[in-house]
Amino acid sequence: MKPIFIAGPCVIESEELLDVVATELLRIKSLLDVDIVFKASFDKANRTSIHSYRGPGLEKGLRMLADVKAKFGIPITTDIHESYQAEAVGEVCDVLQIPAFLCRQTDLLVAAAKTGKIINIKKAQFLSGIDMQYPVEKVRDAGAGEVWLSERGNSFGYNNLVVDFRNIPVMQQWADRVVMDCTHSVQRPSISGGKTGGDREYVPSMALAAKAFGATGYFFEVHPNPETALSDGPNMLYLNDLEPLIEKLIK
């Protein structure tokens, strides 16, 4: 199976940022002949602090994502947090992403499945790969076609995540594609005074290890300057580092 790459900024910050990232993704797509899906969130509903930036919201955010799709002709994904968002997001996005914390929310899963779009369910930090058969069962029963599962590490102690790469072949039993979330897997949750920290230097290793275990998709949150990003900066990949990493993964 040809690998797919999901990439983009954590949250929609501005139209300018979306254009900069989409331009680079389209260049990489053409240069390396790879499949890329553009990702950005219209709302980060699970930020650690009430004071953290969340995004432009559903209506404005979807308009901005629709503009990216129209200008660049690239597939789009974003995450939904509540059932009522599914229909509107499904009209714009090609893939609906279910956040890890919400992967057992039956109504959310069913609403996403009813859009007829690809569903990407992120494995919760508190679940094993084996447990993910049940979220898949819920969306399949609700009529979903293609279903992806994403590995993003597990909580084994305070302010840290550990990845059990055995989850990748385990989850392949139920999913059409297993995606490695290479940037969220290096998070250090809530470690930075009400903000999530991270160790971006390990992102390439996470991707290469996932390849060895049979991953068929890779998720990278990217930003031209992660140090100034409004969300998840410490674990985001520099946009300029994406092309050489993808090259390694497709060799």
pTM (two decimals): 0.94
> What pLDDT sits at residue 50?
80
* Domain ranges (residues) in the chain: 4-250
Specify the 3-state DSSP secondary structure of 187. strand
Lowest mean pLDDT of 91-100, 168-177, 222-231, name the range.
222-231
For the cut 80, the answer to whether the pLDDT of residue 12 exceeds it is yes
For the cut 70, the answer to whether the pLDDT of residue 191 exceeds it is no
Q: Are 174 and 133 in contact (CB under 8 A)?
A: yes
Instruction: Tell me the average pLDDT across 146-174.
Output: 93
- Architecture of the domain defined by 4-250: Alpha-Beta Barrel (3.20)
- Taking the C-alpha atoms of residue 232 and residue 225, their distance in angstroms, rounded to an integer, is 12
Contacts of 240 (CB under 8 A, 6+ apart): 224
Q: Which amino acid is at 174?
A: W
Band (192; pLDDT cuts 50, 70, 90) = low
Say how many C-beta atoms besides its own lie within 10 A of residue 59's C-beta.
10
For the cut 80, the answer to whether the pLDDT of residue 58 exceeds it is yes
Torsion, Cα of 149, 93, 61, 54 (10° steps): 0
> What pLDDT sits at residue 196?
64
For the cut 80, the answer to whether the pLDDT of residue 193 exceeds it is no
Chain mean position to CA 102: 14
Bridge partner residues of 41 (DSSP)? 11
Lowest mean pLDDT of 85-89, 160-164, 229-233, name the range.
229-233
Of all residues in the chain, the percent with pLDDT exceeding 70 is 96
